[in-house]
């Protein structure tokens, strides 16, 4: 484990119920990250999606991958910039090639694996995949930018 949820909250501005990364298990600055979220039936989203057939929404999987990418981007900043993360935020620029391969349900552990395609200044382009039990359940190409709040 590299970062637990308390440490992740020092990096990302997201909070309950929208913090979608529980732990970071691998991080190579400027290159890649692996993180996960434990999907629980107690998630507020399951009250309406769907009460009798709970499926974790694809948009939440994409957001979780993006949050993992945010951790990667912030932790890849030069050391003198990392302390300023609380004054910055990551904005989506685009979501491309999104595909959903299998449903995610309560009890699943959603593993996010992201690799940097390109980083130019504040802009990050990432290849993102989400897995459950080593099977790809979602994938997308994400582009985001670190900006001042």
Catalytic positions, written as ranges: 49
Burial of 88 from C-beta contacts in 10 A (0-12 / 13-18 / 19+):
middle
| Pair of tokens at residue 132 | 């459950």
Sheet holding 109-120, edge to edge: 23-28, 32-38, 109-120, 123-132, 135-148, 88-100
Residue matched to tokens 């979780």: 64
Return the C-alpha torsion angle 98, 102, 105, 109, nearest 10: -80
Q: Please give the DSSP secondary-structure letter assigned to residue 95.
A: E
């Amino acid at each position: 484990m590299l970062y637990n949820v308390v440490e992740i909250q020092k990096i990302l501005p997201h909070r309950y119920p929208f913090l979608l990364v529980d732990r970071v298990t691998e991080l190579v600055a400027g290159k890649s990250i692996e993180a996960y979220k434990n999907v629980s039936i107690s998630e507020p989203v399951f009250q309406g999606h769907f009460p009798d057939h709970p499926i974790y929404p694809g948009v939440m999987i994409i957001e979780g991958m993006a949050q993992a990418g945010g951790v990667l981007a912030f932790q890849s900043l030069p050391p003198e910039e990392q302390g300023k993360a609380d004054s910055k935020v990551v904005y989506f620029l685009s979501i491309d090639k999104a595909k959903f391969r299998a449903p995610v349900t309560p009890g699943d552990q959603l593993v996010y694996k992201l690799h940097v395609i390109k980083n130019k200044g504040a802009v990050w382009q990432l290849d993102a995949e989400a897995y459950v039990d080593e099977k790809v359940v979602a994938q997308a190409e994400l582009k985001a930018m670190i900006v001042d709040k």
